[in-house]
Amino acid sequence: MLFEVNGLCKRFGRIAALSDVSFQVRAGEVLGLIGPNGAGKSTLFECLGGVLPSDSGTMRSGGRPVGTRERPSLLFYVPDGIAPWPAQSVRWALDFTLGFFGGRPALRDEVIDQLDLRQLLGQPLGTLSKGQRKRALLAIGLLTPQPALLIDEPFEGLDLRQARDIAAALRAHAARGRTLFLSIHQIGDAARFCDRFVLLSGGRVCGEGTVQELATLAEVREGSRTYDDLEEVFLALT
């Protein structure tokens, strides 16, 4: 197990965005965080990434608590929908990632080719399309050194071909031992790509495990009906 989260809570006024969220992240896996819009996926990632304070909850790794100051050495969070350093070029952003975050220079060219960024290196980040910016953000995330990478909506803004290429690139990095924790609201994409899942709905964890394990859980809760795919399991459990 790489790290586990216990009892994470976050309120925005009267709204409980996260309630007693607990789950485990295993080293080297591709873990999918799935849930409907407003389930609290981005809020969860922002709390784990240390850019939003949680009201309560703990993180543990190797049997020891992980404070907010130690989290940057354990995980890196790539938010969705941001356009960092909009006037700076993609080339500069990647170099900055390597220098400022202590990234992995040996991966630079590989990541550029995997994410088809070579033609975009000289362009300012603010001038990129949504899909191009997503690829640039993914490149930044893949170049960071932390063992776990949290990505909010990795396939958002990408067409089918690009999504498959990105998925292959992420898989290649996961195969080398990088732990990926991906927030995906398209169940079909998640089912094709992830090893295990955390189901989040209304700020609560409704289930955690592989498709098989979640299906068994759904069968227990809902009666004798069998579940064939993740979409049906998700609808049953949330």
Partner 1 sequence: MRSAFLWLLDKEWRELLVSRAWWVLLLGMGPLAGASFIGAVSVYGEVSGLNGTSAGVGEALSPLVGVWAPTFSACELAAVFLLPFVAIRVVAGDRQSGALKLELQRGMSPFARIAAKAAILLAGWMVAMLPPLSAILLWRSYGGSIYPPELATLTLGHVLNAGLTIALAAAMASLTEHPSTAAILTLSFTIGTWIVSFFAAVQGGWWERAAGYTPAAMVAQFQHGLVRLDTVLIAPILTLTGLGFAAIWMRLGAAVSRRVYESTGLVLVAAAAIFVCTFCAVSWDTSESRSNSFPESDERALQQIKAPLLIVAHLAQEDPRRFDLEHHALSKLRRVMPKLKVQYVSATSIGLFEQTNPYYGEIWYYLGGRKTMSRVTTAEGVLEAIYSLAGVAPPPENDEAIFRGHPLAVAPTGAGAIFYGIWPCLIVAGGFFVRWRLK
145: contact with partner 1 by CB under 8 A: no
Residue 223 has what DSSP assignment?
-
Q: Which residues contact 106 (CB under 8 A, 6 or more apart)?
A: none
Question: Hey, is 44 helix, strand or coil?
Answer: helix
73: contact with partner 1 by CB under 8 A: yes
15: contact with partner 1 by CB under 8 A: no
89: contact with partner 1 by CB under 8 A: yes
CB of 87 to partner 1, least distance (A): 4
Choice between 81 and 188, CB closer to partner 1: 81
- Can you give the C-alpha Rg of the chain in angstroms? 18
CB of 20 to partner 1, least distance (A): 19
Asked whether the CA dihedral 58, 150, 30, 101 is positive or negative, the reply is negative
- Select from 23, 29, 59, 77 the one that contacts partner 1 (CB under 8 A): 77
103: contact with partner 1 by CB under 8 A: no
105: left (phi over 0), alpha (psi -120 to 50) or beta: alpha
Chain centroid to CA 19: 19
Binding interface with partner 1 (CB under 8 A): 46, 49-53, 68-69, 72-73, 76-79, 81-89, 92, 96, 99-102, 122, 124, 140
